[in-house]
Every structure is written in C-alpha cells, then in structure tokens.
Chain A
Amino acid sequence: MPQLNPNPWFLILSSAWLIYTLLLQPNIMSYMSMNKPTNKNKITNTNPWTWPWT
C-alpha cells in the first residue's frame, strides 16, 4: 500500500502543518470579524423640549 511508504511521510506531514498554520488560519481569520467598533466618543447634546400644552 503506497500510503505506508515512509519516504514522503515527513514532507507530507510538515507541509500539511505549515500550510495549515501559515496560510489557512490567517485566511479564515480574515473571514471572522471581531466586534464592530461602537462610536461612543460623541457626546450628543439633546435639547430638552416640553410638551406644548394647548
């Protein structure tokens, strides 16, 4: 069975792990967005208003 041939074992293993960690994980990380930034720096001045009792 050619899968049991130990010759390319190390190459397949190491290349699989290297490609997985160095290429795929940053790729998938770019799909997962972090929490969207909230704009809490603006202070909104609200003008108080009264009900027009007429």
Chain B
Amino acid sequence: MNLTFFDQFMSPQILGIQLVVMSLLMPSIIFPTQNNRWLTNRFSTLQSWAIHTFTKQLMLPTNKKSRQWSIILTSLMAMLLTTNLLGLLPYTFTPTTQLSMNMGLAIPMWLSTVLMGLRNQPTMSLGHMLPEGTPTPLTPTLIVIETISLFIRPLALGVRLTANLTAGHLLIQLTSTATIALLPTMPTLSLLTMTILLLLTALELAVAMIQAYVFVLLLNLYLQENT
C-alpha cells in the first residue's frame, strides 16, 4: 500500500509492542536525577537554573494556596517541551501529535481547576460567567456565551497543541517531498524549496517551544481565575 502523508502520525508498533511508550520515556532520560551535592556538573546546574527560573516566573501572579500546582505545571512544561523538540529530529515520533495524549492531559487539568474553584469559592467561580460592567439587557446572552466558552476551553487546549504540531510536521514532510521530487528536473527550484524547508524547520522549533509554554500558561491562567 502507498504511504500517505498522514502515516507519520500512526502510532508505531513492532510485533504488537507499542513504541509510543518509548518516546514518552525520553523526557525522564533527558532530565537526569539530581543528587544533593552543593556543586553538580554543568548540565545539572543549567537544568536546575532553568527549572527554578521557569517556576518562579510562572507562579509569581498566583496566590499562596495555588503554589502547590508549581510541580504539576513545571513537570508538564518539561514533558511537553522535550517531546516537542525531540519530535523535530528525523525518524522520531512525537506523541504530542496524538489527540489522545493532549486531550487526556488537558481535560483532567482544566476540570480540576474548575472543580477547585467551585468547591472553595463557588460564588466567585460562578461570578466569572458575567464580566463586570455589562449592560443589564445583555446579561442572559452573555452568561450563555461565557458558559460555552468555559466548556470549550479544554477542547481548545488539547486541539491547539495537536493541530499546531501535526500541521508543522505535515508541512515539513510536504516541502521535503517537493525538494526531492524537483531535484532531477529543476535543481534551482529545488534549492529554493530547500531554503523554505530550512526556514520551516526553524519555525517549527519555535512553535514547539511556544506551544508547550502556551499550554502551561493557559492552565496557570485558569488556575488563577479559580483560586
């Protein structure tokens, strides 16, 4: 059977063993376990500096009670960033292109922020449904719209990550196919397409990092709203 362009997103398996588990294990290999020495090696120092800075920046606007979420959000960011960046290497599989993983991460996290808000401060959480300063006749319509936007959030969170990464990988595959196909007949055009490919790869690098960050940032925002 012919290989279609979407076959790169099929979950790979050998003899029934799903290899997606291996690509999911990669982040924990890239972050080696720290020991308690005062001075570690350069790699560990850099990583711990990065993690500390990120956590500080992320949890600055939150209140004291929601600082418990810092480990959740930071490790989530580490996992998404690593899986996205590793997926840009040739012949690798990006598990974050799978809807199952992203929705599975987004829906429980969003739901937990909503439930936390409803449990601890129900009036405030329900009060978010009506922004301040709305004229009175608009109130019913606006409440309906805000409720719909609340329920769209987990879908948007999951699908945003999936779609961005899938589109990027697909574009890279398309332009590389075009470059190879044009090489024997029109080499100059093939060179131009290769330039586009290089620029696209740079864009994908940025997108990989940005999308991981946006996921975590939005979760942080939903957390701040509800605590």
Q: Does A associate with B in a complex?
A: yes
- A-side residues, CB < 8 A to B, are 1-5, 8-13, 15-17, 19-20, 23-25, 27-33
Contact indicator B100/A13 (Cβ below 8 Å): yes
Contact indicator A28/B20 (Cβ below 8 Å): no
Q: How many residues of B contact A (CB 8 A)?
A: 39
Contact indicator A20/B52 (Cβ below 8 Å): no
In the complex, what residue of chain B is closest to A22 when comparing beta carbons?
B28
Contact indicator B78/A24 (Cβ below 8 Å): yes
- B-side residues, CB < 8 A to A, are 6-7, 9-11, 13, 18, 20-21, 24-25, 27-28, 31, 33-34, 47-48, 51-52, 55, 70-72, 74-76, 78-79, 95, 97-101, 104-105, 162, 166
Contact indicator B6/A2 (Cβ below 8 Å): yes
What's the dominant secondary structure at chain A's contact region?
helix
Contact partners of B34 in chain A: CB under 8 A: 30-31
Contact indicator B7/A2 (Cβ below 8 Å): yes
Contact partners of A11 in chain B: CB under 8 A: 18, 20-21
Q: 23 A-B Cβ contacts within 8 A?
A: A1-B6, A3-B166, A4-B99, A8-B20, A8-B98, A11-B20, A12-B18, A12-B20, A12-B100, A13-B104, A16-B95, A16-B105, A17-B104, A17-B105, A19-B21, A19-B28, A23-B28, A24-B27, A25-B71, A27-B33, A28-B31, A29-B75, A31-B31
